[in-house]
Structure 1
Amino acid sequence: MVIGAGFAGIGTAIALQKAGVTDFLVVDEQDDVGGSWHANRYPGIAVDITSFSYSFAFEPYPHWSRAFPPGAELKAYADHCVDTYGLRARLRTGARVTRADWDETAHLWRVRFAGGATLTARFVVCATGWLTKPKTPDLPGLDRFRGPVVHTARWDPRVETAGRRVGVIGTGASAVQLVPRLAPEAARLDVFQRTPIWVFPKPDVPIPRVVRRVFAAAPWTQRSISRATDAVTELSFVLAMIHYRRFPFLVRAGEAVSRLYLRRQVRGDRDLVRRLTPRYRLGCKRPSFGSGYWRAFTRPNVELVTESVTEVTESGVRTADGVHHDLDVLVLATGFHVLDNLPPFPTHGTGGRDLREFWRTERFQTYEGTAVKGYPNLWFIVGPYSFTGGSWFGMIDYQLTHILRVIGEARRRGATEAAVRPARHDRSFRRTLRRQGDTVFLDPSCRGTNSYYLDEHGDAPAVRPASTRTAGRRARTFDLDDYRFRRAGDDRADLL
């Protein structure tokens, strides 16, 4: 069973099909495929890495209209992949998983759904991703506001913002895209900022039709560009973020570029520069690419509010300085529960231990960013220590390589259980922690930034401290004996 029908789940289904595995089912709580690109529909939504990098290597898409295509095109690409590989018959949408329990006797996962149905699966791949549970701020009086309250992740197109007084709480990636769209049409726009964000210019240029025709006729041309953009992104991230202590000047150089862009965007307004400049190292929080975000604050109808919000009233928002901001519409650009929503449903493994509780008390940990000791036949795509910072699809690819090797070996041995050995799991985790020490994420300036990269233990489990190339090599070469293979009803400790 594959849980999640975003790109991670779609990629898993295609990989299983290519490997000759046909007895699988993909389930998703939403009413269609596409994951966050189906759920998120706020004005201005777009991918913030180039389209050349945002696709499966085996399925290039020549129809992107821009270098950074809008969300609707990403949803179209998801549909394209599902239809091209004939996955509709293996999909169950509107199926929300509420619980998963490991049956130690039968070597099966018993997966329960909203409505009471239960299905069993020999192997489970959790491909739900990070962006599934919107984070609503705990603000007194939020339920009293008389106007529309809308989260960017649950955008209601019926909400009218033109000519209205609009408040946006949050200044992360969604706000960077949304604010420039709201600013020209709102009568007044108040943006409530807790932590500034590093922003870089977004070279979002149209892709001419003639170029798209070349991509369609000669896919190798698009693949070549994809490899080049992947390499640049990967090299920049690995050297600057993963090997920060060796190359700190790269982070400082990136900060200088962002500061220069800020000064140009706000036309030298020193007060705006001061309030919009982050006081933490580049990389502590996810930076963003934006066209017009900072410039929006130079408009006479837009105000940057840096005082913290203390309460929401019937008619607006009150901040710590006592000022009341009258509003007609309140937009929550407050992101998602990420680490604290993994997994997004109670998951009980060997001995009935809940995985959330295990991670909360024992720290987030995985074997090679994919498996967890005590949870046989279960793998995560986009779990703790999985994302390598380069191509999202490169990450999916290396994790699928790992998963398919184990499933294939289990079938070869006639095994019904594949469980990572605790000692091998712990060794992998210790190696990850050692490498994590070189990253920018553990820089003292990152503390208190409310970054989803960091957890309550002071670790940075959202990122694997390795390159995608290194992770891919590990996925192809790790020792399969790091797993213990057994057959239900067979007393042998291991199957050879």
Structure 2
Amino acid sequence: MSGGAPDTAFFTRAAAVADLNALRTALYQTTGDASLLEFGPVLTLDEAEQQRLRARCVELLDGDRSAWAKRVPDDAELLRLMDLTLGVPTQPSHFEIRKKFLNFEPYPFSFVPEDGKPTVPEGFSVAIIGAGFSGISMAIQLEQLGVPYTIFERRGELGGTWSANQYPDIRVDTMTLTYELCLEQPARWSEYFARGAEVRRYLEGVAERHDVTRHIEVDHALESARFDESTSRWSLGFSRSDGSRAEYEANVIVSAAGLFSTPTTPDLPGKESFEGEILHPTQWTSEHSAKGKRVAVVGNGSTGVQLLAPISEEADQTVVFQRTPQWISPRPGYGEPISEEKRWLLDHLPGYWNWYRYSAIIGLFTWHEDFLLPDPEWEAKGGHITQKSEDLQSFLLDYIKSQVGDQPDLLEKLVPDHAPMVRRPVVDNGWYRAITRDDVELVTEGIARFTPKGVETADGKHFEVDLVVFATGYKVDHYLWPAEYEGEGGLNLRDYWAPQSPRAYLGLMVPHFPNLFIMYGPNSQPASGGVALTAWMQIWSAYMAQCLCRMFEEGHSKVGVREDAFLAFNEKLDAEASGMAFLTDSGSVEKNYYVDGSGRLLVNTPFEVADLYPMMERPDPEELEFG
């Protein structure tokens, strides 16, 4: 096409690259053409039937489009379209949240009071800590309600992790369409898996469009927060980069500091003697380069896998230090621009964006059954976890072999001893190909110490390097770090958590800390990780907004969770988690950031989407304390 009107050849190419489920459903919704219903579920169609369906789609795309218009299906029609897309009936308990994920209505997850905006007490304010996706999500919700707020951001700009990380080839590793917020309109992305700079620009645009930017105070790092029981307000102390301090008061704090905000690097002997440079990926800037250097990349999680290929292409020599093998998988479209044909469908075919996104998200609803809940019948036959888990493992093993070739010794180092999906899925960015380069060496022995010229491993082998990149992750158990929170009776939050790992009610609230909400708190991450994570941020925001509105309506000055409700919830959570593969798979518990040092699930929620959403949809007043 390239500037001209689309023709039959263009639509043929578009149908060939389209998600056939989304294309068929969107065209049926738009045209009502009954011939599209003559085909069975896409997954059941053989190649010839798929070609016939694509050909019919081309005819409709290339026909009269003058009557096309975006419209919102009623619930009955929406249910029919859901069933058409998957080819199986939609469970009634799944319908409401699936409907919201489709985003036919603007702001589907926002809380909108039936009687309009609440009457906010004079002087009431909310302090949001952090201007990443979570903080911006909460700010949009408060904007919609007319509740005064200020976002305090420790860095010099908004963006959260997408500001803090600028290492080579940083990008989202879930499809970007599933990562964007559910707002009033879809975003226009340049790639299927957007690069970090584009994600930050997107968030910047969202904040501007929703009048959030003017509420952000940058260069404010929260150091302390103390709850005043006489006023039911929080006193907050901030530090700035110039060494000065600032003090603020707020009725409510929403901590949106994030899960990946406290980098961790090993404290190795000899570090101070090393003559080269040591970096965590969060310290990488545009001024850094691997060109002409001997580089050590430590770690093969998501970050280490993303940055290895671009670094190894520039460096003279690269040494990769791997502690634990990972299942590293391919993703269709990863690193590729959105084609002109796909862009046309997203921009011009009503409903295509919605159903394309829905098709990518829908696996959330069977994630537990497919990969995380051991199937007794399957295991009784000698299988491990589930058949789908083993099928995926076989696929990934074949993929590794396809990437590294016939190298049995290398293959032995690369195959994990845990099942797929029990740790964070890692997406391949050319990592396997990189480690087969002549100028790249894979080392599975741990680093014991630094020397002036490099690093030495536990077996005494020395590697001369100029740059060490510690892609060693974050202290995910350091929630709200480094701020000190003092609740009722002067109770320190870290002291309250100290006997065990951090816990919260619904991942959001902790007893004795009224008017404090935590976004992305303990056990709040969906079991599937980043897929549709931003939608959950909006769900958390709506829950908190409902708590505030109840305070306003009933004249309360504070809200918190009852301790008995907190304990009962966590007991239920631990029981639910105990039978999941996160904790039962022998290779998954150790060195898995989802799990704490005692073997308790820490980061993820064990609850299925259809069970979790009703807990979050509206607060249970019997489990909360207002005063």
Question: Do both proteins adopt the same fold according to a TM-score greater than 0.5, normalized to the shorter chain?
Answer: yes
| Residue 214 of structure 2: aligned partner | 89
Deviates more, 1:475-484 or 1:62-71: 475-484
Residue 507 of structure 2: aligned partner: 369
Pick the aligned partner of 1:435 from 564, 572, 576.
576
Q: Any idea what the Cα deviations from partners look like across 1:331-373, whole Å, max 9, x if unmatched?
A: 1111111113444311111122221222221443211221111
Residue 197 (structure 1) shift: 1.2
Check whether the contact 2:262–2:481 (CA below 8 A) recurs between aligned residues.
Answer: no
Residue 10 of structure 1 pairs with residue 111 of structure 2: no
Q: Which amino acid aligns with 1:428?
A: F
- 1:353 matched to which residue of 2? 491
1:85-109 alpha-carbon deviations (Å, 9 max, x no partner): 1111111011000011111111011
Deviates more, 1:126-135 or 1:394-403: 394-403
Change (3 A) 1:378 1:218: farther
- State the one-letter code of the partner of 2:439: N
Structure 2: how far apart are the matches of 1:460 and 1:27? 30
**1:184 is paired with a residue of what secondary structure?**
helix
Cα distance in 2 between the residues matched to 1:31 and 1:245: 49
Q: Within 5 A, what are the aligned runs for 1:68-83?
A: 68-83=193-208
Distance 1:80 1:311, change over 3 A: same
Alpha-carbon offset, residue 287 of structure 1: 2.0
Partner of 2:157 in structure 1? Answer: 32
Q: Does 1:229 align with 2:367?
A: no
Moved more, 389-398 or 74-83: 389-398
1:139–1:312 Cα contact (<8 Å) kept: yes
Specify the alignment match of 2:368 in structure 1.
238
Equivalent residue, structure 2, for 1:306: 444
1:189 aligns with 2:189: no
Distance 1:316 1:256 in 2: 38
Counterpart amino acid of 1:122? N
CA 1:106–1:218: 2 relative to 1, 3 Å: farther
State the partner residue of 1:273.
Answer: 411
Quick one: which of 248, 258, 280 aligns to 1:151? Answer: 280
Equivalent position amino acid for 1:78 in 2 = L
Map of 1:395 onto structure 2: 536
Distance, in Å, in 1 between the alignment partners of 2:348 and 2:306 is: 33
Give 3-state SS (helix, strand or coil) of 1:307's partner.
coil
Is 1:112 aligned to 2:218, yes or no?
A: no
Q: What aligned pairs does 1:377-416 form with structure 2 within 5 A after superposition?
A: 377-388=515-526, 389=528, 390-416=531-557
Q: Which amino acid aligns with 1:405?
A: Q
**Cα distance, 1:163–1:101 mapped onto 2, change above 3 Å:** same
- Assess if the C-alpha contact under 8 Å between 1:195 and 1:449 holds in 2: no
Q: Deviations over 1:135-159 (max 9, x none)?
A: 1111111222111222111103323
Task: Give the letter for the 1:148 counterpart.
Answer: E
Change (3 A) 1:78 1:219: farther
Secondary structure in 1 matching 2:131: coil
Q: C-alpha offsets along residues 374-401 of structure 1, whole Å, 9 cap, x if unaligned?
A: 1111111100011113411122122112
- CA pair 183-236 structure 1, distance change in 2 beyond 3 A: farther
TM-score of the superposed pair, with normalisation by structure 2: 0.74
Using the TM superposition, give the Cα deviation of residue 202 of structure 1 relative to its aligned residue in structure 2, in angstroms: 2.0
Distance 1:415 1:241, change over 3 A: farther
1: CA distance between counterparts of 2:264 and 2:173?
Answer: 21
TM-superposition CA deviations, 1:271-304 (whole Å, max 9, x none): 1111011112323431211131111111111000
Alignment check: 8 A CA contact 1:30 1:93 kept? yes
d(CA) in 2 for partners of 1:163 and 1:282? 37
State the secondary structure of the residue aligned to 1:275. helix
Contact 1:202 1:289 (C-alpha < 8 Å) held by counterparts: yes
CA distance in 2, matches of 1:237, 1:342: 29
Please state how far the C-alpha of 1:457 moved relative to its aligned partner: 2.6
Counterparts of 2:518 and 2:138, CA distance in 1:
11
Contact in 1 for aligned 2:296/2:318 (Cα 8 Å) = yes
Report 1:57-72 matches (<5 A): 57-72=182-197
- Change in CA separation of 1:245 and 1:346 when aligned onto 2, cut-off 3 Å: farther
Question: Which deviates more from structure 2 when the two are superposed, residues 217-226 or residues 144-153?
Answer: 217-226
Give the drift of 1:217: 4.9
The farther-off stretch of 254-263 and 26-35 is 254-263
Matching residue's letter, 1:83:
E
Q: Does structure 1 retain, via aligned residues, the 8 Å contact 2:578–2:584? A: no
Aligned equivalent of 1:489: none
What is the alpha-carbon distance in structure 2 between the residues aligned to residue 287 and residue 87 of structure 1? 33
Counterpart amino acid of 2:141? A
Corresponding residue of 1:121: 250
Are the equivalent residues in 1 in contact too, given 2:365–2:609 (CA < 8 A)? no
1:165 aligns with 294
CA contact (8 A) 2:417 2:587 kept: no
Shift in Å, 1:241:
4.5
Q: 1:467 aligns with which of 596, 608, 613?
A: 608
> Which one of 166, 174, 180 corresponds to residue 303 of structure 2?
174
Work out the CA distance in 1 between the residues paired with 2:350 and 2:167.
32
Pair 10,447 (structure 1): closer, same or farther in 2 beyond 3 Å? same
AA of the residue aligned to 1:476: E
Question: Contact (CA 8 Å) 2:589, 2:599: kept in 1 or not?
Answer: no
Percent identity over the alignment?
29
Give the C-alpha shift of residue 323 in structure 1.
1.0
Partner in structure 2 of residue 327 of structure 1: 465
Aligned counterparts of 2:446 and 2:184: Cα–Cα separation in 1: 46
Distance 1:416 1:284, change over 3 A: same
1:196-235 equivalence runs, <5 A? 196-203=325-332, 204=334, 205-217=336-348, 220-232=351-363, 234-235=364-365
In 2, the alpha carbon distance for the partners of 1:345 and 1:74 equals 27
Greater Rg over alpha carbons, structure: 2
Structure 2 partner of 1:51: 176
Distance 1:363 1:240 in 2: 28
The amino acid across from 2:568 in the alignment is R
In structure 2, what residue type is equivalent to 1:95? H
The 3 A distance-change label for structure 1 pair 383 and 309 is: same
Contact preservation (8 Å) 2:257, 2:480: no
Equivalents in 2 of 1:424, 1:323: separation in Å?
A: 54
Relative to the length of structure 1, the TM-score reads 0.93
Distance 1:77 1:58 in 2: 12
Tell me, what secondary structure is at the counterpart of 2:400?
Answer: helix
Gaps of 5+ in 1: 487-496
Distance 2:212 2:321 in 1: 43
Once the two structures are overlaid, the 10-residue window that deviates more, 200-209 or 399-408, is 200-209
CA contact (8 A) 1:62 1:213 kept: no
Q: Displacement, 1:19?
A: 2.1
Deviation for aligned residue 1:207: 0.8
Note the C-alpha offset of 1:215. Answer: 3.0
| Alpha-carbon distance in structure 2 between the residues aligned to 1:117 and 1:262 | 53
* SS at 1:2 equivalent: strand
Quote how far apart the aligned CAs of 1:314 are.
Answer: 1.1
Q: Which residue of 1 aligns with 2:586?
A: 445
